Amino acid sequence: MKIFPAAFVCAFTLAIGSTAWNQEATPKATTATDDGSDGETGGYPPGELGEMVRLGETLVRETSSHPMTKPLVGNSLNCTSCHLDAGQHPQAASFVGVAAAYPAYSPRESAVITLEERIANCFLRSQNGSRPANGSKVSVAIAAYLTWLSRQTPIDMNPTAPLGPNHLTFLDGDAIEPDIPNGRSLYADRCADCHLEDGSGSDEGPPVWGEQSYNDGAGLAKVLKMASWLKVAMPLDDADLTEQEAFDIAAFINSHSRPKFQPEIKK
């Protein structure tokens, strides 16, 4: 098991293994967005490319409210709602290194897909929305940001899954029988303060079921993926659930209704 200090620098080091690298190459996205007005590149590349990477990070953080992405989103989630810290969290569906895995084979699509297509799939499913066109500014900006988080990661195209080197570690679902009633009481104790008893969300945490949530075609709609994500992500800043608890809560959350994935209507 890897040990992940909070600092992103360490996640990046893990992502690139023992490859030589220098301090200047360290991503500094967090400071860059915080001080976007001071004219410094904040670790982004200079010029137009840096502007595109910066826009991509903004869209990942403000997906449901930014004027460029709002029309493409059908719920109140942002990419960063699940890809914590705008994908810079080392474990919670990390974006670090992800660009190096593409083109990748997707069993779900029965096709070899590009990074832009993988991004579009999260718009369709996790964001319950519609696909940004390949080559559109939204798609290019987000792909640019993910590629920037992946620089110096050796290219290693994934022939079996559209997943990067720091993807979620899946728990062993066969070993555990989820207990939904126990999930209900754990949710009330550990989660409802932020996500509310009825799952509809608050200023402290986004909706986890209902009309404003991810649809039933999303990764998190599967109990195994949800449990694996919860294990490393929630409660926020205090992810201490046991595997059994993560499965119990995941099964409880996904026993509620949510939007239906509509591949034909949403284009």
Q: Which residues would be at the binding site for ligand HEC (CB under 6 A)?
A: 60, 63, 77, 79-84, 93, 98, 101, 118-119, 122-123, 126-127, 142, 146, 162-164, 167-168, 190-191, 193-195, 204-208, 213-214, 218-220, 225, 229-230, 234-236, 241, 249
CB of 196 to ligand HEC, least distance (A): 11
Comparing C-alpha atoms, which of 106, 98, 105, 104 is closest to residue 143?
A: 98
In the complex with ligand HEC, the residue whose CB is nearer, 7 or 157, is 157
In the complex with ligand HEC, the residue whose CB is nearer, 32 or 158, is 158
Is there a contact between 233 and 92 (Cβ–Cβ < 8 Å)? yes
In the complex with ligand HEC, the residue whose CB is nearer, 180 or 194, is 194
Is there a contact between 202 and 208 (Cβ–Cβ < 8 Å)? no
Tokens for 95, please give them: 């974006």
In the complex with ligand HEC, the residue whose CB is nearer, 47 or 64, is 64
CB of 27 to ligand HEC, least distance (A): 16
CB of 3 to ligand HEC, least distance (A): 19
CB of 39 to ligand HEC, least distance (A): 27
Report how far residue 42's alpha carbon sits from residue 92's, in angstroms, rounded to the nearest whole number.
Answer: 24
CB of 188 to ligand HEC, least distance (A): 10
102 exposure class (CB count in 10 Å sphere: 0-12, 13-18, 19+): buried
